[in-house]
Amino acid sequence: MESLEKMYIDGQWVSALAGKTRNIINPADGCVIATVVEGAAEDAQLAVAAAKRAFYEDGWMETPPVERARLMFALADALEQRTDKFAKLETLNNGKALREAECDVGDAAACFRYYAGLATKPHGQTYDVVDPMQTLVVREPIGVCGQIVPWNYPLLMAAWKLGPALAAGNTVIFKPSELTPLTAIKLFELIEAVGYPKGVANLVLGAGNTVGQEIAKNYDIDKVAFTGGTTTGRSIMMAATGNIKNISLELGGKSPNIIFADADFEAAVDWTLFAIFINQGEVCSAGSRLLIEESIHDEFIERLVERTKKIKVGPGLEEGVEMGPLISETHMNRVLDYVELGKKEGAKLMCGGQRILGDGLEKGYFVEPAIFTNTTPDMRIVQEEIFGPVLVVQKFKDEKEAIALANNTIYGLAGGVFTQDGAKGLRVIKKLRAGITWINAYNPTYNEAPWGGYKQSGIGRELGTFGFEEYTEVKQININLDPSPIGWFKN
Ligand code: TXE
């Protein structure tokens, strides 16, 4: 990368007005891999002014859907052609295993393609109301949208946010996490190269409490969309009240993965590993609570522990590595603190939970995947999002208890059920207070289907037609087909 990576505001690559910079760290070895400019509120304000002008004055709001589709298909192609480069950069910055980063690039390109296609599809409704009136309902872009994303899926979250917003005709101020801005910077180079008009898509780099807060509170931003922790989501929601912004929030989770005794044993073990340990457990929808039927508990845990111990942890770019480092030293310590807390609360640590210091990994933020049994529902490790490779196990006797335990947190993002009884699977899923669910699987995600949570896991949905609609306002147009006087007032 070049020595100093800049922000993209109003079609220009710019430094921060205050001249600040930030070092970006490789979590696998703690080394600086790039220096980027560090924006602040005033930089975000410039981006907002550009986005507002691009929307209202430069004509982006009237750009035909077919043109928005053309640009986005071109962006998807450009990204896909550089899969290798983007995947390696993502792994370098985020830590995740390269095979996961490669999936993320493919998924991001597919997301752009999905929304490019959706841009030109029918979105309105018509009603034959009372003669001679005709009512049309049209969807229009909301306007200027602020988008704030976290560090766990930097590129993919950029696609989930930019895809629907730009396809629907909005202009955007996008803020990646200050820890992982590198693939977003490269993505904006492609946005420039494929020819998006200036001011339509702006990239502002900086911290949450400066740039992020400005995006949340700025009066000229019509909508704010956020993915991240529930605490941060709450503060964004409060900051957004000033001008009654439209809000979408995709927040934390503590999602149940429920295994019944009649499940296919080996398949359930395998999916359980995938549910919690993919992406180092830094996944909002992670199956971080394993709910297991009492009669198979011991046998299941034995097998799960055996397989967990074999997960190959190491630098994501290394051949054969299955799990990378956590994102930062701060986050690693937060996860390790939860492991200590779990022990103090009386849970039994069956494996893992230590920082890995040998094998040349001591400079990185590597943590062994951990499993806690003997938990009680009120323990903090059972209730709070750890956002790392830590699985907590809860035992249940029957279907009723499984459902009660599953729903017993403030969250409601995701959940899975494993059983060979199809009716039971659906019965349990229908009782789960969660927005994303699976039967005999956990975690696969599709651009076509809505993504988001119940309860304190968020507001609104991403992906699918639902995600597109979140970036539109709805207008009714009532047309009098016989424009004669109404004659209500007689004189
Ligand atoms: O994320 P934050 P953090 C959870 C997870 C994790 C915890 C804290 O439990 O341990 O959150 O992680 C921006 N106004 N998740 O602190 O704060 C920030 O710059 C506006 C769940 O790293 O949520 C970044 O761009 N913006 C999760 C983004 O918010 C603010 C993903 C995410 O950061 C801001 C990540 C503010 N006041 C963490 N403060 C998920 N559900 O996917 C921060 N930001």
Query: What is the secondary structure of 292-357 as a DSSP string?
Result: EEGGGHHHHHHHHHHHHTT--BS-TTSTT--B---S-HHHHHHHHHHHHHHHHHT-EEEE--SBP-
Residues lower than pLDDT 70 in the chain? 1-2
Q: Catalytic: 345?
A: no
From 90, 100, 178, 250, active-site residue: 250
Alpha carbon distances (Å) from 74 to 33, 109, 189, 481: 29, 10, 13, 42
Pocket around ligand 1: residues whose beta carbon is below 6 Å from it?
148-150, 152, 175, 177-178, 207-209, 212-213, 216, 227-229, 232, 235-236, 251-252, 284, 334, 385, 387
Cβ atoms 343, 349 nearer than 8 A: yes
What spacing in Å lies between the alpha carbon of 147 and ligand 1's midpoint?
A: 13
Instruction: Tell me what pLDDT residue 289 has.
Output: 98
Q: Atom 20, ligand 1: which residue's CA is nearest?
A: 212
Kindly give the number of the ligand 1 atom that is closest to the alpha carbon of 283: 42
Q: Atom 27, ligand 1: which residue's CA is nearest?
A: 228
Report the distance separating Cα 29 and Cα 4, nearest Å.
21
Instruction: Tell me what pLDDT residue 398 has.
Output: 98
Instruction: Tell me what pLDDT residue 491 has.
Output: 84
Q: Catalytic: 362?
A: no
Instruction: Tell me what pLDDT residue 359 has.
Output: 86
Give the sheet arrangement for strand 4-5, strand by strand: 4-5, 31-37, 21-26
Could you say which DSSP state residue 210 is in?
Answer: I
What spacing in Å lies between the alpha carbon of 275 and ligand 1's midpoint?
A: 21
Q: State the amino acid at position 239 in one-letter form.
A: A
Residue whose CB lies within 8 A of the most ligand 1 atoms, among 25, 160, 232, 245, for a mutation test:
232
Cβ atoms 83, 76 nearer than 8 A: no
From 5, 100, 284, 462, active-site residue: 284
Cβ atoms 293, 462 nearer than 8 A: no
What spacing in Å lies between the alpha carbon of 285 and ligand 1's midpoint?
A: 15
Give the sheet arrangement for strand 289-293, strand by strand: 348-351, 370-373, 390-396, 289-293, 256-259, 414-418, 436-439
